[in-house]
A and B are shown apart, each in its own frame.
Chain A
Amino acid sequence: MNAMEELLQKDREAGIPEAPDPAYTVAALKKRLGQPAASHQEDDVDKHLLIGAGATMIGTAMVALLLGASPWWLLAVPISALILGPYLLRKGA
């Protein structure tokens, strides 16, 4: 097996392509490791959008009620939420 080991040694000494610049790798890793934080932010944005949309719907319904609209109109709020909710929760929507 010595001849094989010598061949492997020769290949080892022949070297390989240079590894990337460590600074570049560090920057790439920081970017990749920062991704979960960014997606948390996206989740927060989605949550705020949903809360905002819900508040707007309830506010609009209250104003409509004060102006004398039928209370049955308020049913439109949960129905709209059921329809719009999945769209608002979907990422990138």
Chain B
Amino acid sequence: MENLVDLVTQYQGPLFAYLYRMCGDAGHAEELMQETFVRALRAADRYRPEASVKTWLLSIATNLLRDQWRRRKRWGPMLPFSDWGGGATDSMDDEVLLHIEHEQVRAGLLQLPLEQRSVILLRYYEELSYEEIARTLSVPIGTVRSRIHNGLQRLKRMLATEVMVR
């Protein structure tokens, strides 16, 4: 594996972005990013070259987030977003979604369950393939597909409800 400076220079950006979007707080994301690097460096002998360094780091970061999630049960800082009542349906016209601002998307993502949030971020923000996501999260590809599908549906309903409430 690369040395510390190369590792940080090359992977800090995507790792920080992923963690920031997962937790919604830059300070917390930075703390988690450092912890991810520390864990990766301490477990460097367990790294297998068949996985890319990026997916390996994202895997460690996700496990870290999952551990914290279990301990805290919920995230502290959340971006403002009105409570989702589930009033909108799946068949709601996509036109409604055109009125959504990206800040609301970000807030909506933070309301998703951790498992759905992580697959959506890995797929649409980190642009990992389904296979890479499955390897990163140690779950079958079918699970990745269903989590993405359900996560997008849920996010869509939340955002549509948000537009209706306004």
- The A contact surface, by secondary structure, is helix
> Would you call A8 and B125 a contact (CB within 8 A)?
yes
> Would you call B12 and A25 a contact (CB within 8 A)?
yes
Please count how many residues in chain A sit with their CB below 8 Å of the partner chain's CB atoms: 24
- Note all chain B residues with C-beta closer than 8 A to A11: 102, 105-106, 109
| Given known contacts A3-B94, A7-B159, A22-B8, A29 and B21 CB-to-CB distance under 8 angstroms | no
> Would you call A26 and B4 a contact (CB within 8 A)?
yes
| Given known contacts A1-B152, A4-B155, A5-B124, A29 and B105 CB-to-CB distance under 8 angstroms | no
| Contact among A2, A4, A25, A29 for B41, CB-based, below 8 A | A29
| Contact among B12, B17, B33, B42 for A16, CB-based, below 8 A | B17
- Note all chain B residues with C-beta closer than 8 A to A40: none
Interface string of A18-29 (1 = CB under 8 A from B): 011010011011
Whether B81 sits at the interface, judged by CB under 8 Å, is: no
> Would you call B124 and A12 a contact (CB within 8 A)?
yes
Query: Which residues in chain B, 101-149, are within 8 Å of chain A measured between CB atoms?
Result: 102, 105-106, 109, 120, 124-125, 149
> Would you call A32 and B152 a contact (CB within 8 A)?
no
A41 to B156, CA, bound (A): 56
> Would you call A29 and B38 a contact (CB within 8 A)?
yes
> Would you call A12 and B8 a contact (CB within 8 A)?
no
- Note all chain A residues with C-beta closer than 8 A to B16: 16, 19-20
A17 to B9, CA, bound (A): 17
| Given known contacts A7-B102, A8-B120, A14-B102, A19 and B97 CB-to-CB distance under 8 angstroms | no
> Would you call A33 and B120 a contact (CB within 8 A)?
no
Cβ of A7 to closest chain B Cβ, rounded Å = 5
Whether A30 sits at the interface, judged by CB under 8 Å, is: yes
Q: A7-B105, A22-B9 are in contact. List 12 more A-B contacts (CB 8 A).
A: A1-B149, A1-B152, A3-B94, A8-B125, A19-B17, A19-B33, A22-B5, A26-B4, A29-B4, A29-B8, A29-B34, A33-B38
- Chain B: residues with CB nearer than 8 A to chain A? 4-5, 8-9, 12-13, 16-17, 20-21, 26, 30, 33-34, 37-38, 41-42, 94, 97-98, 100, 102, 105-106, 109, 120, 124-125, 149, 152, 155-156, 159
- Chain A: residues with CB nearer than 8 A to chain B? 1-5, 7-12, 14, 16-17, 19-20, 22, 25-26, 28-30, 32-33
